[in-house]
Amino acid sequence: MEALLAELREFLTKEFPAWRAKWQDSDTWEAKLDWQRTMAGGRWTTATWPEEFGGRGLGTMEMLAIEDVVAQYGAPQIPGMIGVKNVAPTLMRFGNEEQRKSVARIANTDEFWCQGFSEPGAGSDLASLRTRAVIDGDDFVINGQKVWTSNGMYATHMQLLARTDIDAPKHKGISAIVVPINTPGLEVRPIKQINGGAEFAEVFFTDVRVPVANLIGPLNEGWNVTMTTLGHERAGVAVFAGRLEQRIRNLIEDVSKKDTPVSPVLSDGLAEHYVESRVLGMMGRQMLAKIADGVAPGSESSVIKMVWSELSQRVDTTVMELAGVDGITGDDNAAKSGYLTARSATIAAGTSDIVKNIIGDRVLGLPRD
Amino acid sequence: MNTSTTTAAERADFRASLRDFLSDTSPESRVREVIASESGLDEATWRGLASDLGVAGLLIPEEFGGQGMGMAEMAVALEEAARAIAVVPLLASGVLATIAIQLADDASANADLLPGLANGSEIMTVALLDGGGVTTTARDENGWSVYGSKTAVLNANIAQRILVVASTPTGTGLFLVDAKASGLVITPQNSLDLTRPTALVTFEGVAATRIGSEFSESLNALNAFGRIAVSAELLGMSEKLMEVAVEYAKTRVQFGKPIGAFQAIKHRCSEMFAHVESMRAAVGSAALVDPTDSVGLHEQALVVKAYCARFAPWVAEATIQVHGGIGFTWEHCAHLYLRRVKTDEILFGDALTCRYQLQQLLGLTA
């Protein structure tokens, strides 16, 4: 591990300032893509991929350590996270020979993938999705609509979940299909969010034709094909826990250095955040220790996700309180946009309400509604 | 006391044997019998815990007849004893008195007092909290004498000797008095917790033996260990309450289905689970802190107590809410736990008090 991280530090010490110099303060898409290409060149973004696919064959713990070091350097997150972490592992496992050619192109950003999952009528209840793919000769003909497609505006390809058997139980009639974004009949529109950003898109399908050969894995097995790789994300919440703990330490340090003390109520609120974030951090470290011992994490990831999302949301509310009037004038823009963005913490990747259902049903064994 | 050296697997085995033992000797029916008798001690359970399972002497070095363990092992014992709401003086005698004596660092006191505590033949308690706003003092009058009163003294009615923290002309000291000494009066209090009675103890010139020298630094450490210990109890009780609530939610049928199918109940249970898992992580982490690292010990103890003191009462209250009317009856176990949970919440500082100390530690307040 030490040799690995030393190699990474050497890489970053050389490459990160060079990238900074090239792009200055630019926060553009092109700059971020260039950073992803740089990182891919060192096989750092793809470190958990098997060596035959250009990875290093490393485990979760090594990847988390790599991400920590990258964060210490202040380097940005790569824009193609969904492709690298979710789509490529799915293609490696379930893709045919042609589809597997995409794996290397995902790493170096020649291809940029999104996942077409959520629909207007299928959010928390994803398996009730209704976008149809009907076989017509050698083609699928696709009609329907996707929403909340991350990075949809930049994507070259989509991993689509569509209904291919309307008579089967809802989880059993879904297939995963590769759809190039430039296919005729496909239209992408950005979704403007409450914080002004537009990281998501809605995607409309009108008689979109793609070859049946674009099917990933077996027909009607799209649910399992997709969920297998979603499991890879789980360890990530433990890292979120540690980062929130550090964020609150930093926030308290900033507040303690102010000339005018904050109100006793706000001060107690910060201490409350501190307590909860310390406990969350302890939970995260215990989960990572389990993974390091080769034990698969169980209910911890759901609990950490639930506690993390609610706490991080409250912290952004506190930051807004600390900003006072500057928060509403925009003089403290970080507080303002942080507060707005934090609404998504309890919605994205499973709303808190749904996570509580999952814990109740699967962990505590309570009867389903 | 030592740093814990057992593995997680060894502690799991220890937990399993404690749970077996306590489910045999201290079922709820037995707890209710002992409470009704007003003796304040389940002798058979205490004997078994102390001599057969070595729990009373867990924190005592082997040279004094103990097990030479640390807080991680004691946390397991406290969790399990509290889970069974056992009527035993484990916190008072096995933890607080045992740690206070060792913190005082007095070789002859260790040799004289620890062996009796280790085998459970002697029960001691520690009088910490001044009663009536008057500082308890000790004066050297050809031998030490203690004056004042202490409130909320745990298990005072069954202690043979009492350790008293008192002000001296030069600072703070730890003093040992006989529970039957002249000038010492024990008045049982109308305690919220029925499983661990408290008393008001008054001292009118009670002859005392001083243990060790200046005790103020040690008192900080004693309070920190106290916070970790009651947090372990709060974890054990919260876990049990969550199980009771979830079981009821699965079996109680209203409107044609088990009430646990309703999201209002299901989400309450899931939140209980999240709090119990958080408490488990916090207690597990705090109990493994290096006992000689006074800064780390102080911070971790405040964090774990601030968390458990806030959320264990929430779990206990939510358990009663999930049960509805039956949860409000004397015959249901929930109130026995609620009473002990609320007591542990207050002992060694409630959540607000711990957070206030954390604010000082973090530079948020002077």
Find chain B residues with C-beta within 8 A of A278's C-beta.
Answer: 282, 303
Is A233 one of the annotated active-site residues of the chain?
yes
Predicted confidence (pLDDT) per residue in B271-299, tens digit = 999 999 999 999 999 999 999 999 999 99
Q: Does A278 touch chain B (CB under 8 A)?
A: yes
Contact at CB, A270 and B249, closer than 8 angstroms: no
Contact at CB, B266 and A365, closer than 8 angstroms: no
Q: Which amino acid, one-letter code, is at B349?
A: G
The correct answer on CATH 3.40.50.970 for the domain covering A111-218 is no
Find chain B residues with C-beta within 8 A of A300's C-beta.
Answer: 277
Judge contact between B168 and B59, C-beta under 8 A. no
Residue of B270, B272, B285, B358 for testing the chain A interface, max A β-carbons within 10 Å: B270
- Specify the pLDDT at position A234: 65
**Tokens found for residue A317:** 């509310």
Q: Does B356 touch chain A (CB under 8 A)?
A: yes
Domain ranges of chain A: 1-77, 111-218, 223-362
Tell me how far apart the alpha carbons of residues B51 and B21 are, in angstroms, rounded to a whole number. 13
What's the mean per-residue pLDDT of chain A? 91
Q: How far does the CA of residue A67 sit from the closest CA of chain B (Å)?
A: 24
Q: What is the ipTM of this complex?
A: 0.95
Q: Does B258 touch chain A (CB under 8 A)?
A: yes
Q: Does A300 touch chain B (CB under 8 A)?
A: yes
What is chain B's alpha carbon radius of gyration, rounded to the nearest angstrom? 20
CA angle B61, B64, B67 (to 5 degrees): 40
Q: How many CB atoms lie within 10 A of CB A313?
A: 18
Given B262, B266, B310, which is nearest A356 (Cβ)? B266
Residue of B303, B310, B357 for testing the chain A interface, max A β-carbons within 10 Å: B303
Find chain A residues with C-beta within 8 A of B263's C-beta.
Answer: 353, 356-357, 369
Mean pLDDT by 10 residues, chain A (369 residues): 93 94 82 92 92 90 84 84 91 95 92 94 90 97 95 94 95 96 97 90 97 97 83 71 91 92 94 97 89 78 93 97 94 93 91 94 93
A364, closest residue in chain B (CA to CA): B246
In sequence order, the β-bridge partners of residue B171 are: B168
Q: Is B258 exposed, middle or buried (0-12, 13-18, 19+ CB in 10 A)?
A: middle
CATH architecture of A223-362: Up-down Bundle (1.20)
Tell me how far apart the alpha carbons of residues B87 and B195 are, in angstroms, rounded to a whole number. 5
Phi, psi of B189 (to 5 degrees): -100, 160
Given A256, A271, A357, which is nearest B263 (Cβ)? A357
Find chain A residues with C-beta within 8 A of B257's C-beta.
Answer: 367
Q: How do A113-116 and A186-191 pair as beta strands?
A: unpaired
Q: Does A280 touch chain B (CB under 8 A)?
A: yes
Judge contact between A173 and A131, C-beta under 8 A. no
Contact at CB, B274 and A359, closer than 8 angstroms: yes
* Spans of chain B below 50 pLDDT: none
Q: How many CB atoms lie within 10 A of CB A247?
A: 15
**If you ran DSSP here, which 8-state letter would residue A108 be given?**
T
Q: Which of B260, B236, B262 is closest to B315 using CA atoms?
A: B236
Surface of A (258-277) touching B: CB under 8 A: 261-262, 264, 267-268, 270-272, 274-276
**If you ran DSSP here, which 8-state letter would residue A217 be given?**
S
Q: Which amino acid, one-letter code, is at A249?
A: R
Question: Domains of chain B, with CATH numbers?
Answer: 8-118 (1.10.540.10), 124-214 (2.40.110.10), 217-362 (1.20.140.10)
Q: Does B6 touch chain A (CB under 8 A)?
A: no
- Specify the pLDDT at position B199: 97
Predicted structure pTM score: 0.90
B36: CB partners within 8 A, 6+ apart: none
